[in-house]
Amino acid sequence: MTQKVDQDEINLIELVLILKKYWILVISSGPIVGIITFVILMYIPNIYVSEILLSPRAMEEGNKLSGGLSAIGSLAGVKLGGSGDVKVPVALEIIKSRRFQVDFVHRRDLIVDLFALKSWDGQNNIYDDEIYDIANGKWVRDVKFPRTPEPQDWEIFETFSQLIIVKEDDKGFIKVLLESRSPVLSKKWLTWIIEDVNEYMRQREQKELKISMNFLTKSLEDVALQNIRQIFFQLIAEQTKKLMMTESHKDFVFEILDPAFQPVSAAKPKKLLILVAMMMLAFILTSISVIVREYMFVSNKKD
């Protein structure tokens, strides 16, 4: 037992002596790798993430209609009540859809920011002049087929869809996150997305309600029985009430509980963490390398 302890002490002393022999190389490996890593990280753009917290808007369905009236409305192709819960999953899928995202980029004129934005210098957005010539308003990027100098819709969706993250918890609250190389744009784009999806759903609902009302109004002309006519009047009144509600609510589907904010620090990459990790890794690998090299040298010498 004593012999084993002595042997361990000898081995430990040998390791210390080896490291002492190459101490300049071991100690300098960390700073050297640190400088190289720092230079590389300087060329990696920061990514800023803004987030917004949403709650499904409580949809007021108006007066509860009788079963018979609701059944007649269904036969007439009129949706009565119960649609509020359906709007949220539909709106979430619309946010992630190709059509909405491509239309959003074009409508808000974001294509240059999406593809040519290089970095954020703390005050202004910096653009890559090898991708887009701002002075002449011309795309100059050098790309291979099927890409073109000016990004096409499929590439817009491919790029933009990677920036959005939608999370829904078990309580029904929704968190939407958006990444950008600019903290200003991450906040602005996220705010616009929620505004636009609310407006899209509002206009969609208005269109459906107007179609239903037109159908009911035309059908009323062919109804002679007073009781049936009364039912149609109630249906039209219900649809009119819903239409008025859509006019008064801008936050049609999503109510903003916590608005989008402008991040003050980059979410990724974690440059300081990467720098420290690389320096430690360099120190460890250099230490192992010199120890292995020394033992191999001694072993070869004995042979």
Query: What is the model's pTM?
Result: 0.77
| The predicted structure's pLDDT at residue 6 | 46
Tell me which residue of 282, 280, 213 sits closest to 242, measured CA to CA. Answer: 213
Instruction: Tell how strand 125-127 and strand 117-120 pair up.
Output: antiparallel
Task: Determine the Cα–Cα distance for residues 295 and 288; give it in Å rounded to an integer.
Answer: 11
Task: Determine the Cα–Cα distance for residues 64 and 59; give it in Å rounded to an integer.
Answer: 13
Both tokens of 239, joined, read 């649809």
Residue 56 near residue 255, CB atoms below 8 Å: yes
| The predicted structure's pLDDT at residue 102 | 97
- Within 8 A by CB and 6+ apart from 260, the residues are 50, 51, 52, 178, 186, 187, 190, 191, 194
Both tokens of 200, joined, read 């899209």
Confidence of residue 235 (pLDDT cuts 50, 70, 90): confident
Both tokens of 113, joined, read 């920011």
Residue 221: is it exposed, middle or buried by C-beta count within 10 angstroms (0-12/13-18/19+)?
exposed
The model's pLDDT over 69-119, given as tens digits with 9 standing for 90+, comes to 444 555 455 555 445 556 889 999 999 999 999 999 999 999 999 999 999
Which stretch of 3-12, 41-50, 205-214, 283-292 has the lowest confidence by average pLDDT?
3-12
